[in-house]
Chains A and B, each alone.
Chain A
């Protein structure tokens, strides 16, 4: 019987992979396992843990405010995936045509992405202020009634999401890079066949960018499912939990020293986020004409 020959360079491969695997284990696997473990525990962050089975999960899922947080995260995911990314794509397609000043516009669109989220949130809190904010000032100038955008449960979530979807810079750059890599010959051939700009975009650009767009939507929806910063800074999840997200619920559970429930919230966030991503990949597919691969 012949002996199986191993890869003679196997030890070298293992050696090169070891650091990244160690980091992966330490900063990803271990925290997930620890979180999953503590989600089954009654634990105040201090002292001993006691096994609680799935009571933390039951408590969270029966809590109306947590269910509201889940709903809000889904809204965030849809807003970022199906408003922000299409807006970014629209901007990218226009800029890819090379209009006058497109480089300056590209920089301006991306600028908010290099500014701290905290600074942006504080600016928007001031702009949304019911008495002195710029938005109500503009509305009043047109004879319209201002409102307490961040203090009204019916507008708080929309107000925060509305300003976030405008930050299209990141996805615009990604889609623009993809658009500029599409061979020009395709457009030349299309022009010869009499295609107009809209037909070129619909029949050439978008199909060629399918993979990039699907990835962008997936990433945007993932950001939406784990959204935390802007809401925490602008409303703290209020008023009356109207703008709360799972990240905020998790954070507030830690505030109350309910670490077992916080871990359960974290696990629900991970599971739901994974589910959303898997669903969206299945729905939108991963066909990428440029690479010749299908998924």
Chain B
């Protein structure tokens, strides 16, 4: 062989050596599903989610890998989702969306995968049909209902008893009498807040008042309706008399912190809060009672609930990637995994897993849902981000008597996108 010929052979051999691994890796390329996930850190679902993802990755090693990108700040995560979609990019292969009047706009994007053709048969049957219907907009199912939540009032009955309140109030008179007794005993009766973008705790209270005055479909009425004005008057009374001095401007951390520290006797939040380690460590944990607030208006027994988190996926033309995403979502929403999530976190889900909670606090949520004849959305879900922000901003002004209840309602009405 001449030198020129042997050089050619060597060159071809080197090229082959360089190309073969690439070819081999292309054949066996692991599909990576990026999941910017809020269920990390202190979130009650974090341990179970980690376990589920690890198990899926182990079972699909070398083929599919789900990578969680921690997003511990819920508000920042929602900004990320909105900004990514506006910039023409899905936030991840898999991500969650709080479906409300504003975020339903995401369904107009081509970035979200439509699950209409995938959610069929046994998989579809495992989902709550109402939740699927709520998540279907213009015949498109671009998010899967995942976490749901009823939003009741949490009563620290230990504090109630010490103040001489022996039972959960069921009428407005009983309620105000209980609040007065709590106040007289030297504690702040309720956690409230006007901070963050949705004044979460107070928004829930307001929602309960509004549906009791105006019915489950109150949100279709103008915000200047009497139902909302009366609700605003109640919120003003509560802020002025029955809550902590730092409630105006307070965020969810402050509001929840007061309840966890035993400084307030009443709180409001969803079932996902039940799995928090810091809640379970409180000395009054076993005395917590979950109930609807007394109906302040003519409409009774309406529970306020919401789809707390829907799961979305980035649209893709890659069939293998799409199959991988569907495979993971089917795994995530399997009845076994939903039971695992429900048991460890206290959260509730749109999947009918047959889970019966043993934990007394979790059981209270399930009993409440079972006994609720009528449900209604809360303000944020019904009216969207802009109106909710205005609600939060003006709630402080209402509490400080800078605006009247009528003015408060008129200001919020201006921001509602009808």
Contacts and interface: CB of A to CB of B under 8 A. Distances in A.
The reply to whether chain A is a binding partner of chain B is yes
Nearest to A237: B393
A45 B402 contact: no
Nearest to A258: B386
Interface string A249-264: 0001011111100000
A44 B393 contact: no
Contacts of A239: 194, 248-249, 393, 395-397, 400
B249 A238 contact: yes
B83 interface: yes
B249 A150 contact: yes
A137 interface: no
A271 interface: no
Contacts of A199: none
Contact of A240 (B102, B254, B402): B402
Given A44-B105, A151-B194, A240-B396, A259 B249 contact: no
Counting from the closest, the 10 A-B pairs by CB-CB distance are: A239-B396, A151-B249, A45-B86, A151-B248, A240-B397, A256-B386, A130-B246, A46-B109, A130-B245, A256-B385
A256 to B, nearest CB: 4
Nearest to B250: A151
A52 interface: no
B386 A238 contact: no
A129 B246 contact: yes
Most chain B beta-carbon neighbours within 10 Å: one of A44, A45, A153: A45
A151 B399 CA distance: 10
Contacts of A255: 79, 82, 197, 385-386, 389
Interface in B391-418: 392-397, 400, 402-403
Given A46-B105, A257-B102, 11 more contacts: A44-B105, A45-B82, A151-B195, A152-B249, A237-B393, A238-B249, A238-B393, A239-B194, A240-B403, A255-B79, A255-B82
Contacts of B394: 240
A148 interface: yes
Given A151-B194, A258-B386, A45 B396 contact: no
B62 to A, nearest CB: 37
A148 B245 contact: yes
A254 B82 contact: yes
A44 B108 CA distance: 10
Nearest to B107: A46
Q: Binding site of A, secondary structure by majority: helix, strand, loop or mixed? A: loop
B384 A238 contact: no
B397 A259 contact: no
A252 B392 CA distance: 13
A254 B85 CA distance: 11
Interface in B234-290: 244-250, 254
Interface in A146-164: 148, 150-153, 156
B35 interface: no
Interface in A192-244: 235-241
A252 B79 CA distance: 10
Most chain B beta-carbon neighbours within 10 Å: one of A45, A235, A256, A258: A256
Interface in A56-77: 65
B393 A148 contact: no
A47 B249 contact: no
Contacts of B384: 256
B175 interface: no
A8 B315 CA distance: 53
Nearest to A47: B108
Given A131-B245, A254-B83, A153 B402 contact: yes
B400 A252 contact: no
Contacts, number: 97
B246 A131 contact: yes
A214 B385 CA distance: 42
B67 to A, nearest CB: 26
15 contacts: A45-B105, A46-B106, A47-B108, A129-B246, A150-B249, A152-B400, A153-B400, A238-B195, A238-B249, A238-B393, A238-B396, A240-B402, A254-B79, A255-B79, A257-B82
Q: How large is the interface on A (under 10, 10 to 19, 20 to 34, 35 or more residues)?
A: 20 to 34
Contacts of A156: 249
Given A44-B105, A45-B86, A46-B106, A240 B249 contact: no
A46 B86 contact: yes
B105 to A, nearest CB: 5
A255 B380 CA distance: 13
A125 B92 CA distance: 33
Contacts of A259: 86
B85 A45 contact: yes
Interface in B37-90: 79, 82-83, 85-86
Nearest to A235: B249
A9 to B, nearest CB: 41
Interface in A72-113: none
Nearest to B386: A256
Contacts of B108: 44, 46-47
Contacts of B180: none
A194 to B, nearest CB: 57
B225 interface: no
A151 B396 CA distance: 7
B196 interface: yes
A136 to B, nearest CB: 9
Contacts of B248: 148, 151-152, 239
Contacts of B385: 255-257
Contacts of A47: 108-109
Contacts of A240: 393-394, 396-397, 402-403
A239 B393 CA distance: 5
A65 B414 CA distance: 12
Nearest to A44: B105
B86 A256 contact: no
Nearest to A129: B246
Contacts of A236: 195-197, 392
Nearest to B103: A257
A241 B244 contact: no
Contacts of B247: 151
Nearest to B384: A256
B127 to A, nearest CB: 26
A139 to B, nearest CB: 14
Contacts of B396: 151, 153, 238-240
